Amino acid sequence: MNLAIRILLRELKSGDVMTLVIALILSVSTVTGIGLFVDRLQSSFELQSSTLLAADRVIRSSQALPDEWRQQAHDFGLATANRASFSSMVFSDDGLQLSQISAVTASYPLRGEYLVEQSLFGEGVPSIAGPKSGEIWVSSRLASLLNVAIGDSVQVGEKALLITAYLVRDPGSSMSAFAVAPRAVMSLSDLAATEIIQPGSRVRYALMMAGESNVLEQMAQWVTPKLADNQEWRTPRSGGQGIGATINRAESFLLLAGTLAVMMSGVAMALASNRYVKRHLTQTAVLKTLGATPNKIGQILFWQLCAVFALGAGIGLVLGWFAQELIALSLDVLLSTTLPPPSLTKVWVGLMTGLVSLVTFCVPLMSRLLTISPLTVLQPISHLSGRSGLLYLIGFAGSFALMVVYTGGVLLPTLMVVSVAVVASLVGSVGFGVFSLGRRLSAGRTSGWQIGLASLRRRLGANLFQLLVFTLIIMLGLILTGMRTSLISDWQGQIPENAPNHYLFNVQKNNVEEVKSQLTDLSLVQSDWYPMILGRVTHINGEEVSELFPPDTNQPEMLERELNLTWAKSLGSDNQVIEGTFSAESEGISIESYVAEEINIRLGDTLTLFVGGEEHTLPITSIRKVDWSSMQPNFYLILPQAVLENFPANYITSVFVPTSKQQDFYRTMSNYPTISLVNVGDLITRIQFIIAQVSQAILLVLVFIVTSGALVLVASVRASLDERLEEGALLRTLGASKQLIQQAMLIEFGFLGTAAGLIAAVAAEVCLFGLQVFVFELAPSFHPLLWILGPVFGFTVVTLIGVFAGRSVIKVPPMRMLRAL
Amino acid sequence: MKSPQSIAIKTEQLVHTVSTSAGELTILKGIDIEIKEGESVAIVGASGSGKSTLLGLIAGLDVGTGGESYIYEHALSNLNEEQRATLRGEYIGFIFQSFHLLPSLTALENVMLPAELSGDYQAQEKAMAFLQQVGLQHRLDHYPRQLSGGEQQRVAIARAFASNPKILFADEPTGNLDADTGKIITDLLFELNASQGTTLVMVTHDNKLAQRCQRQLIMAGGCINEPRTRSNESESDEVSEA
């Protein structure tokens, strides 16, 4: 073992062992980083799921719950609390902001605790008691948006409330980690004074209960028959399914991306091992002539690999820890909660990745040293026997197995392998053409062009592989850049000029005429006003929705939640009937075409809706195509007026407010504190911010992929180093200047990098086109930035790495080289 | 202890055939030789005559496809690679044309290697003693690339003797060296060989070097043609010059 380690330590200075160690560090740290981060997300979620409901059981409803239910729970011996959640404008002297407010009774929360803080953006300290009457706790984000601090007052509806703490976590509201609206908590006893809650207002009421499980079961039995379709009995488990599934999907996705880094590191390992083996064939044969038995050689290799693994995995784990910390940090502002520290349960994923990579990419190659004949010392063999294809296959099989473990299924890895294979064959054929063309164009010239381009063509296999690796990396980077910088602005660019930029909702019927005339006085263009009534689809053609689309499966969005329903006398210009007919007197439903397709419903089919305690079964009489980019209020379902007009409704409209009139508009609206106002510009800024944050986290994973790609390039240049040294020495002996060889290398790597960048730009443009047209349904646009960034990045990075890895070709005196031949 | 006249190496109808793209190629066609303990023997012959193959087979680096080869009483064809390696560690030292020092180890560590492989705790003392004998006591910590060709071959000689071999195989030991250095190396080799009482088997192109051995085996076309013997008296006059 001593001998093994001693030889290894010496070998560390040679690049091959170093490459092996770095490759291992990269695989382990990538996977560990992702694993630990997702583990933090998951345990944060699990930690919260017990307190997610802030109670043991909750009845949720879109209408106020009868007080006799609370009384009954109390009589059973359960602790109870009430909560009403709604979104409303919060006003300060400096501004106004839509926020998500919970109004709670003093006994809330029954389970879990608040996290509050006395300074902005602090970590938070636990508190069981909530805000007292007359007080409000606001999140740090809301406080900074309104430019207020502890001790200041804010206006919620008609009521002024004093800020006494910054809210870090509200135990019952951790459902959305990426909340768009900032949060606040106030006392339920102040709610009436705000005058926000009017008939038809959007409020989620909750009756919270805690106690012995058999008592809870009693309560469940008592209340379940009384529950209407818009009322729901929730257990901690039923609350969390969605988030759990989302986190699992995120983990699979990130780990799949990470697999790219693992695979490339594996290739770098294989290349380094191959060169190590080549360079050690004779040495091993010498050891054998000195009496080292195959067993002894095996032991030496085993201990060396153990040491490489210990070193690589050790550093990889530490680096992975930092990586997850960075990912968490870059998402910090977005995550509404503080993540718990990483647990060590996910460390095994990183370690296993390192081990599998080493065993599948490295050990098969290394094992050739065991079988090398000692006779090699007398009759050197020029190259190893074939089978290298098979050896790489073992490596890729290992990576595939890892992917299956990461994603817990065969489908995603197979999809990924197939798509990589398709891209590989495309890049391969394009690259082959480009290299051949380069060779033909440079033929007959005696400059570095000829030597450089000939070299690309000669080491075709290796260079096509480089091309693929860098094309993939640059493409991913460009798509991210494109998403970040242009998708949103493309969308904004396609919004018609003077399209509405503010939504007004929660407008009471008796306010509508007044607000209308105020807006007209300000000469603001407003769209039509629509009433909104909440309702849920319960049956399709008489069949229960929960049977057609079980809740665990990918339920269409329209069936997941309560919908905004409306009626209308006529359709806006952004609605186009494509089947059936629409009229104000129609006795059926008009459905938007996309959701109709999603739930697979046709003209004449029936939908049953549960609205305000009544069930209505109606036929589909028209299907509409809606231009959502018009920014006008639009609805999935338009019902007959006769069905809806008796329910309390609140109204929605949209307004275009030019910058010059913004101040007047806000001043006018502050007279209607109960009306909610959304500035689309703010919303877009917020969405842009979220996309920027998320892509920054993905960018971190990309950094690992780029690094492993760079390592592959270094390893592959080193794999051809002996050949390059020989060529360089010969050329220089024949009189070629250092500059010529340098120029040849620059051209070789520069051409490779630029080609990768160009192909990547084409591919990224195609992907963005697909995203724009098919996913976001926007008109396609061209992204000139990508066509500059791609080739420039490719040229710079590949040339730098290539010339660095091959620098000894220029540095080593030709005499030394030729003597060593 | 074996008697001075015991047989160190013996082959019986040793045949070696390899398959090539052009079909079977017989490199050794039934070789019979006997080398006594303490004897020095040169194998000479044109390129491709089978010298190196013969050396490899009698040294146990590989086994022939037919016949038998013995190191002392051990029949090599009965041994597997593991056992042959152990046998090599015990009986055999090697000197190569291109030195074959491990580039990542210093001169001292290279010489220590055989003893370390056999688990000898005195590896370092022994190695230092041998490096002193070859005149490299001031180069202990130098790496092979920092040594001249002659110095590298001296390290290789020290390494070969460091395992106290009974038989020393040398493959063109001066082939990569200039005449003067070659002479120094040859002198050193024969000197140590005499003092250690080793059996020396050497493959060489160099007739003068061959003639310093007690016996020459001439290989041609895979056969030993005509064993020649040489009187020891004239040895000092026929030192290799070129």
CA distance A61 to A71: 17
Whole-number pLDDT of residue B120: 77
- A487 pLDDT above the threshold of 90: no
ipTM over 0.95: no
Distance from the Cα of B17 to chain A's closest Cα (Å) equals 15
Is B88–A375 a contact, with Cβ atoms under 8 angstroms apart?
A: no
Is A291–B118 a contact, with Cβ atoms under 8 angstroms apart?
A: yes
Residue A314 lies in a domain: yes
Neighbours of A92 (CB within 10 A): 19
Residue A684 in contact with residue A492, Cβ under 8 Å?
yes
Per the listing, tokens 């009403």 go with A84
Domain range for A718? 411-496+679-821
Name the nearest CA neighbour of A110 among A184, A208, A186: A208
pLDDT > 70: percent of chain A: 87
A798 in the same domain as A694: yes
Q: Measure the CA dihedral B2/B5/B6/B9, to 10°.
A: 130
Per the listing, tokens 């146990």 go with B60
Neighbours of A119 (CB within 10 A): 10
A427 in the same domain as A391: no
Beta bridge partners, A160, equal: A155
Name the nearest CA neighbour of A575 among A559, A554, A602, A594: A594
- Which is higher by pLDDT, A723 or A565? A565
A802 in the same domain as A711: yes
Q: What is the mean pLDDT of residues A435-448?
A: 73
> Could you report the per-residue pLDDT of A241-276, keeping only the tens digit for each?
555 666 666 677 677 677 777 777 888 888 888 888
- Which is higher by pLDDT, A808 or A530? A530
A283 in the same domain as A152: no
CA distance A250 to A410: 17
Whole-number pLDDT of residue A136: 94
Residue A781 lies in a domain: yes
Residue A79 lies in a domain: yes
Residue B21 lies in a domain: yes
Name the nearest CA neighbour of A167 among A198, A104, A125: A125
A622 in the same domain as A592: yes
Give how far the C-alpha of residue A305 lies from the chain's centroid of Cα atoms, to the nearest Å: 36
A624 in the same domain as A757: no
Whole-number pLDDT of residue A176: 43
Q: What is the mean pLDDT of residues A788-795?
A: 92
What confidence tier does A624 reach under pLDDT thresholds 50, 70, 90?
Answer: very high
Residues of B in contact with A378 (CB under 8 A): 52-53, 55-56, 61, 96, 171
Average pLDDT, chain A: 81
CA distance A642 to A584: 10
Which one of B28, B99, B117, B124 makes the best mutation probe of the A interface by having the most chain A beta carbons within 10 Å? B117
Name the nearest CA neighbour of B63 among B80, B43, B41: B80
Whole-number pLDDT of residue B69: 93
What confidence tier does A613 reach under pLDDT thresholds 50, 70, 90?
Answer: confident
Residue A305 lies in a domain: yes
Residue B136 lies in a domain: yes
Amino acid identity of residue A88, one-letter, is: S
Which one of A13, A17, A290 makes the best mutation probe of the B interface by having the most chain B beta carbons within 10 Å? A290
Instruction: Supply A220's token pair.
Output: 């469940």
CATH code for the domain in which residue B219 is found: 3.40.50.300
A83 in the same domain as A201: yes
- A690 pLDDT above the threshold of 70: no
Whole-number pLDDT of residue A553: 60
Residue B143 lies in a domain: yes
What confidence tier does B236 reach under pLDDT thresholds 50, 70, 90?
Answer: very low
A286 in the same domain as A251: yes
- B2 pLDDT above the threshold of 80: no
Distance from the Cα of B240 to chain A's closest Cα (Å) equals 23
Is B117–A290 a contact, with Cβ atoms under 8 angstroms apart?
A: yes
Chain A residue with CA closest to B91: the answer is: A291
Q: Per CB distance under 8 Å, which residues of B are interface residues toward A?
A: 52-53, 55-56, 59, 61-62, 81-82, 85-86, 88-90, 92, 94, 96, 100, 102-105, 109, 113-114, 116-118, 159, 163, 171
A275 in the same domain as A373: yes
Whole-number pLDDT of residue A388: 65
Q: Give φ, ψ of A109 to 5 degrees.
A: -85, 150
Q: What is the mean pLDDT of residues A630-649?
A: 86
Distance from the Cα of B57 to chain A's closest Cα (Å) equals 9
Residue B2 lies in a domain: no
pLDDT > 70: percent of chain B: 91
Residue A513 lies in a domain: no
Residues 6+ apart with CB under 8 A from A504: A515, A652, A653, A654, A655, A669, A675, A676, A677
Residues of A in contact with B104 (CB under 8 A): 7, 10-11, 13-14
A108 in the same domain as A247: no
What confidence tier does B200 reach under pLDDT thresholds 50, 70, 90?
Answer: very high
* Total tally of structural domains belonging to chain A: 4
Q: Per CB distance under 8 Å, which residues of A are interface residues toward B?
A: 3, 6-7, 10-11, 13-14, 282-283, 286-296, 373-375, 377-379
Whole-number pLDDT of residue B41: 93
Whole-number pLDDT of residue B11: 93
Whole-number pLDDT of residue A241: 53
The angle subtended at Cα A258 by Cα A424 and Cα A784, nearest 5°, is: 60
Q: How far, CA to CA in Å, does A549 sit from each of A36, A409, A540, A617, A623?
A: 34, 23, 10, 19, 22
Residue A518 lies in a domain: no
- B112 pLDDT above the threshold of 60: yes
Q: What is the mean pLDDT of residues A579-589?
A: 87
What confidence tier does A409 reach under pLDDT thresholds 50, 70, 90?
Answer: confident
Residue A663 lies in a domain: no
What confidence tier does B32 reach under pLDDT thresholds 50, 70, 90?
Answer: very high
Among the partner-chain residues A7, A283, A291, the one whose CB lies closest to the CB of B90 is A291
> Could you report the per-residue pLDDT of A144-163, keeping only the tens digit for each?
888 899 999 999 988 999 99
Residue A378 in contact with residue B61, Cβ under 8 Å?
yes
- A347 pLDDT above the threshold of 50: yes
Distance from the Cα of A456 to chain B's closest Cα (Å) equals 31
The most confident of the ranges A385-399, A441-455, A669-683, B79-93 is: B79-93
Residue B238 lies in a domain: no
Residue A469 in contact with residue A420, Cβ under 8 Å?
no
Residue B241 lies in a domain: no
Residue B240 lies in a domain: no
> Could you report the per-residue pLDDT of A161-209, keeping only the tens digit for each?
999 999 887 776 644 444 557 889 999 999 989 888 877 677 888 898 8
- Choosing from A409, A443, A475, the residue where a domain stops is A409
Q: How far, CA to CA in Å, does A465 sit from each of A239, A268, A462, A471, A717?
A: 48, 12, 5, 10, 12
A261 in the same domain as A386: yes
**Could you say which DSSP state residue A359 is in?**
I
Among the partner-chain residues B52, B55, B85, the one whose CB lies closest to the CB of A293 is B85
* Total tally of structural domains belonging to chain B: 1
Residue A564 lies in a domain: yes
Residues of A in contact with B163 (CB under 8 A): 290-291
Whole-number pLDDT of residue A48: 58
Whole-number pLDDT of residue B5: 64
Give how far the C-alpha of residue A199 lies from the chain's centroid of Cα atoms, to the nearest Å: 39
Whole-number pLDDT of residue A621: 92
Beta bridge partners, A83, equal: A104, A206
Beta bridge partners, B219, equal: B45, B224
Domain range for B134? 7-229
> Could you report the per-residue pLDDT of A102-117, keeping only the tens digit for each?
999 988 888 777 888 8
